[in-house]
Every structure is written in structure tokens, then in C-alpha cells.
Amino acid sequence: MTTTTLVDRDAVDRVLHEALARGGEFAELFCEDKTSSFASMDQQRVEEIGSSHERGAGIRVVVGETTGFAHTADLTERGLLDAARTASSIAKAGQPTTSPTAVGDLATHDVRATVIPDEVPKSRRVELLKAADDAARAAGSSVTQVMVGVGDSRRRILVANSDGTFASDDLVRSRLNVMCVASGDTGMQIGFEPIAKTAGFEVFDAEDVPAVATKAARQALTKLQARPAPTGELPVVLAGGSGGVLFHEACGHGLEADAILKEASVYAGRVGELVASPLVTLVDDGTMDLEWGALAIDDEGRPAARNVLIENGVLTEYMWDWLQARKDGRRSSGNGRRESYQCLPLVRMTNTFLLAGTEDPDEIVAQTPYGIYVAKLSGGQVNTATGDFTFGTSEAYLIENGKLTAPLRDCQLIGNGPEVLSRVDAIGTDFAMMPGTCGKDGQSVPVGCGQATMRVTGMTVGGTAA
């Protein structure tokens, strides 16, 4: 199946007309066909091999400040017309106000994967699981548990709306996760490493799967020797790639236009102001090939774009979906995303990162007399209205006299997004990205986060040392 056959073009026109027949200013049809495969291994046993298939459409009708939305798993014209009537009724419209613009030529984006997951035998997935498991266990006898998962998805979408948009995309993502548990006198410690790309199964030929598994195991083994982290305000050096999630949460969400228009963001009304160190340039870019948040079009049919949000410390732009852009009289920035056809689109990040700097990463550490080196962050939370955040570390080391010394037990980093941005005083050249899953309003979407090694002159560390 190709995206062009999800819904016939003439049927698309009729559905959009029906959606506006009871009064409406905008109507949108979003169709999706998604297949997923997955396999997992735990304690050297294949626990699960399976697949799923999801197919359907969501229809949105907007009248003033009211949005009507209905979704259906029935992609026949009859099913779509019924959903269109439901969405228009929910919008509580009165008389017809708008006629849809005839959709233009279909803007197609062909699948960019070399090895389509559907063509990969189950035995190949099992081989990957076993290779990762073997490598992780070979890292040390203290590794007591290894869990490996491999998964992929192929998502075909078709987006049409009453403004004339008619676009499709065919996107493949592939991922492998390795989690290791090491046991010792200090209890159990966990290490985790992923491979995740917007690509087909060819990614596992390009990536060194055993090396990734070994890295996960060594994280867990190293933490067996960890000591309590110090407490107080300290310089923090974030390793390349590791700190991207901090800036995604602490800054990125506050730059999404829904928070801005509700004045629920510390960045509201501050375009043109210095909000960060002049070393900081923050970008959201959906066009980054292979990265986990890459896409050709967003879930409203807008082409993916590279949006500079903060440039040399100055706030330059926010991220916009169609609905928020409409309220402010501007165009979408290509940041309208949804988890599935059953969801309304929201303004969301894609790949969000800080540009690399000019410093040698090793020199950044060498020039830090005392502090914390964070090799990897775990989850966190942020208050977008104030910018206050709390993040956990999952791999960190003490910096003493410009050298990495003792590994540290997991601790908390506590701070404020704008303050942390203003305290960045060094950025390295070793730019790296990490994959993630972003949750918002009950929806999850794949995103990428990244930065080079960088130093923040002061951040509160919630450690456990006396």
C-alpha cells in the first residue's frame, strides 16, 4: 500500500465539503496507516515477538475558537463522511461560511529507508537481541540481568485541508534498547543505551550493536563503585548529547506557542530580548535526516523546517502549529504533531538542540577545578510558567582539579531554564544527538535532543553526601 491509496482524491474533496457544510472556517482530514514490529529478550530468553497494525482517520473542523474532532477506523468514503458530520456538529456551527479550496497536486514524500522492516525476517531480529545480550554479559561477571528490545515502525500519512493542502509521507523508524543490571555490595545499578534512527533496518548494519550493549553494561558496572554526590551549587559539565533533554524540557516546552499565547511561559513576550548566554543558539529542526524526530511534513501537512529559536543568546522565534499560528496571524513553523489519527495535533518539538561551540571538550573539563560531570541524564520535570526544573542523573562523575575522578550515585540537578542558559560559559565541538520520547497532554511523539559538551557555571546539585 502507498499513501496515495489511503483515500481517493475525489473522496477527499467530498469529505472536506461535508465537514464545512454546517458552517465552518477550516476543515482537515488526517489519514494514517501504521505498522509496528517488536521483539525482546530478557535473561537470554526471547520473551516477545509481535507486530501491530493501526489504520484510520481524524477529521477536524474549526469555527472561531471552537474545534470539533472525530476519528474513525473506517477509511471508506461513507465512514469518512460520517466522521466529518460528527466533527462539524461538535464544532457547533450554524450556517455554511466557507467553501474549501480544491486540494492541489499531491505532494508525496517516498519512504527513505533502504531495508523496509516488513522485509526483515524474525530470525534477524533474534540475531540482534542475542548479539547485544552476549556483548553485555561479556563486560563483567557482575552483570546479572540484560534486557534487549528491538522495534520498528512504518507510518504512512495523508493530510488534506480546506486551505488546499494535500500531502503525504512514508516514514520508517528503527530502534534497539539495551538495559543492564549489575549487582554488588552497593546493591543493583542500571545502565541503558539506545540506537534509534529515522531509517530502516540498515541502521543496524551501520551501528555497532555489541559496542552499544557493552557501553550499557559498563555504565552499570561503573556505578557499583559510585560514591554519594556532593550537595550544593556547583559547576556542571554536560557531556555531548547528554544534556539535550534538559534543554528540551527546561527551555523547549516554554517556546511552544500554546504556552506562549496562554502566557504560561517564562519566555512569553520576550522576542528580541537576551535570554541566554551569547554562546547559546537553540534550534528546532525537523529536517535532520536519520535523527529520531525527523519528518518530511508535520501532521498538519506543513513541510518540516529548521527554526532558530534563540540566536547568540537572543530569543528570536517560537514554535507554531496551524491553530496557534492562526490565532496570531502567522504561518505554522512545521511543528504540528500528533501521536496518532485518534488525536488532535499540538505544537510540538522535533529535533531540538544547541549548536556546537569552539572549545575542546577535554579542556572544558580541565579548566573546571571542582564540579560534576554528567555523562547522562534521566527523566525530569519543568514548570513552563517559571522555568524551574528538576532532572535526575543516571551517569555522573566528580571533577577534581580538572580531572574526572569518582563515579557518583544518581543525584538531582535543580535549576531554572533561563538562569541555566545565562550561565553557560563554554561549549565544545563534539556535537551529538540523543533520541527520546516527548509526552504532552497525554500524547507521545519521537523527538531528538542534542548539544556539545558544555559547562554551566552553577547549578544546584541534590546529592546524598553528608
pLDDT along the chain (466 residues), means of 10: 71 96 93 97 94 97 94 97 96 69 78 86 95 98 98 96 95 97 92 96 96 98 95 96 87 96 95 97 96 97 97 98 96 98 98 98 98 92 90 96 96 93 97 95 97 97 70
Question: What domains can you pick out in the chain, each with its CATH number?
Answer: 3-223 (3.30.2290.10), 232-462 (no CATH)
How far CA 371 is from CA of 74, 148, 233, 357, 402, in Å, comes to 58, 34, 9, 21, 9
Strand partners for 191: 180
C-beta contacts of 400-407 below 8 A and 24+ residues apart: 400/369, 400/370, 401/369, 401/370, 402/365, 402/366, 402/367, 402/368, 402/369, 403/365, 403/366, 404/365, 404/373, 406/225, 406/226, 406/227, 407/222, 407/223, 407/225, 407/226, 407/227
Q: 450-463 in b/e burial notation, b at 16+ Cβ within 10 A? A: bbbbbbbbbbbbeb
For 120, which DSSP code? S
Instruction: Specify the pLDDT at position 1.
Output: 43
Cβ-based neighbour number of residue 55 at 10 Å? 16
pLDDT value of residue 112: 82
429 contacts 452 by C-beta, under 8 angstroms: yes
Q: Determine contact, residues 300/323, Cβ cutoff 8 Å.
A: no
Q: How many C-beta atoms lie closer than 10 Å to residue 124's C-beta?
A: 15
Residues 6+ apart with CB under 8 A from 57: 7, 29, 30, 31, 32, 71, 72, 75, 79, 80, 83, 341
How is residue 215 written as a grid cell? 557501553
Half-sphere exposure of 73 (CA within 13 A, CB side): 4
Give the pairing of strands 351-354 and 443-451.
parallel
At 280-337, the pLDDT tens digits run 999 999 999 999 999 999 999 999 999 999 999 999 999 999 999 999 999 999 999 9
Q: Which grid cell is 118?
A: 516488513
Residue (of 181, 198, 202) closest to 190 by Cα position: 181
CA distance 37 to 117: 8
Measured distance CA(298)–CA(334) in Å, rounded: 6
List the one residue out of 237, 193, 244 whose CA is nearest residue 408: 237
If phi > 0 it is left, if psi is from -120 to 50 it is alpha, else beta; for residue 295 that is: beta
For residues 291 and 381, what is the distance between their CA atoms, to the nearest angstrom? Answer: 23
Give helix 9-20 / helix 77-90 axis angle, nearest 10°: 20
* Separation CA 415–CA 317 (nearest Å): 23
CA-to-CA distance for 446 and 333, rounded, in angstroms? 18
Report CA torsion sign: 113, 215, 361, 422: positive
Type of residue at 133:
D
Helical (H) or strand (E) element with 83:
helix 77-90
pTM of the model: 0.94
What phi, psi does 255 have (nearest 5°)?
A: -105, 5
Distance between CA 353 and CA 364 in Å, rounded?
19
Long-range contacts of 329-333, Cβ-Cβ distance < 8 Å, separation of 24 or more: 332/298, 332/300, 332/302, 333/284, 333/302, 333/305, 333/307
Q: What's the pLDDT score for residue 2?
A: 46
Q: How far apart are CA 201 and CA 361, in angstroms?
A: 32
Q: What single-letter DSSP state applies at residue 91?
A: T
For residues 238 and 462, the answer to whether their CB atoms sit within 8 Å is: no
